[in-house]
């Protein structure tokens, strides 16, 4: 199990880098384990990572292994503690999401797909110094009833049941951030109201689920 989780961290971190969501050694990835969580080490290129490089941090914040954990281990620890349903966290510094975070602007419901993060906006957490308990608290606050947020003057955080889910959400939020920035270059985007977003969120509860159905109401049968 340990090897599987360590490998999942490596594969997700490498995919995050390949997708352009983080450059160099910026960002970090973690996966929940039984005794705590596994997280990318600090300051190591993702391409060079091997399973033994992945740090394990227990629920009291004690790290094990030959490498020091990411400087943001506390943020991962506090998010996991606050959100027991979360199995993996992706923290990245993507171009569009980070640009919005630097003007401390959340992503409102300019597009219905904002609901992919769990609400009618993607909040921007207040600024705090990286690697601190204060940043961890700001992230937990911004993620209340959400699966993703921006971090002011810093980057993005995305949560998922699995590493693949968290990475997919990070990519979707970055795409939305890019669309929002382009819309802002034309004018102030129209924002969907709360009632409409509530309808969208309800539809998202079963969005993408495929189940065998004997008959569909919109069938072309005569």
Per-residue pLDDT of the chain (222 residues; tens, 9 = 90+): 799 999 999 999 999 999 999 999 999 999 999 999 999 999 999 999 999 999 999 999 999 988 999 999 999 999 999 999 999 999 999 999 999 999 999 999 999 999 999 999 999 999 999 999 999 999 999 999 999 999 999 999 999 999 999 999 999 999 999 999 999 999 999 999 999 999 999 998 887 655 555 444 443 443
Closest CA to 39 of 83, 79, 6, 11: 6
In sequence order, the β-bridge partners of residue 156 are 92, 150
CB count within 10 Å of CB 106 equals 16
DSSP category for residue 70: P
pLDDT the model gives residue 212: 56
Write down all domains in the chain, each with its CATH number in brackets: 2-204 (3.40.225.10)
pLDDT the model gives residue 218: 42
**Alpha carbon distance, N-terminus to C-terminus of the chain:** 53
- Catalytic residue of the set 11, 56, 64, 72: 72
Our answer to whether residue 64 is catalytic in this structure is: no
Cβ-proximal residues to 120 (8 Å cutoff; 6+ apart), any chain: 108, 109, 114, 192, 194, 197, 198, 201
Closest CA to 72 of 174, 145, 21, 140: 140
Q: What is the C-alpha separation between 179 and 193, in angstroms, rounded? A: 19
């Amino acid at each position: 199990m340990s090897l599987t989780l360590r490998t999942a961290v490596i594969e997700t971190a490498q995919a995050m880098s390949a997708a352009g969501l983080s450059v160099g050694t910026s960002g970090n990835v973690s996966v929940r384990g039984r005794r705590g969580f596994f997280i990318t080490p600090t300051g190591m290129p993702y391409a060079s990572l091997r399973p033994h490089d992945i740090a394990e941090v227990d629920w009291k914040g004690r790290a094990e292994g030959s490498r020091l954990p990411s400087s943001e281990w506390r943020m991962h620890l506090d998010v996991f503690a606050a959100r027991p349903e979360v199995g993996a966290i992706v923290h990245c510094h993507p171009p569009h999401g980070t640009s919005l975070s630097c003007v401390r602007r959340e992503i409102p419901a300019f597009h219905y797909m904002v609901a992919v993060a769990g609400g009618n906006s993607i909040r921007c957490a207040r600024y705090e110094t990286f690697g601190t308990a204060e940043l961890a608290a700001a992230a937990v606050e911004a993620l209340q009833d959400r699966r993703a947020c921006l971090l002011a003057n810093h980057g993005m955080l995305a949560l998922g049941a699995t590493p693949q889910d968290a990475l997919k959400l990070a990519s979707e939020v970055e795409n939305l951030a890019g669309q929002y920035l382009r819309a802002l270059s034309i004018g102030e985007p129209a924002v969907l109201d709360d009632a409409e977003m509530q309808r969208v969120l309800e539809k998202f509860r079963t969005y993408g689920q495929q189940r065998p159905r004997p008959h569909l109401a919109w069938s072309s049968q005569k």
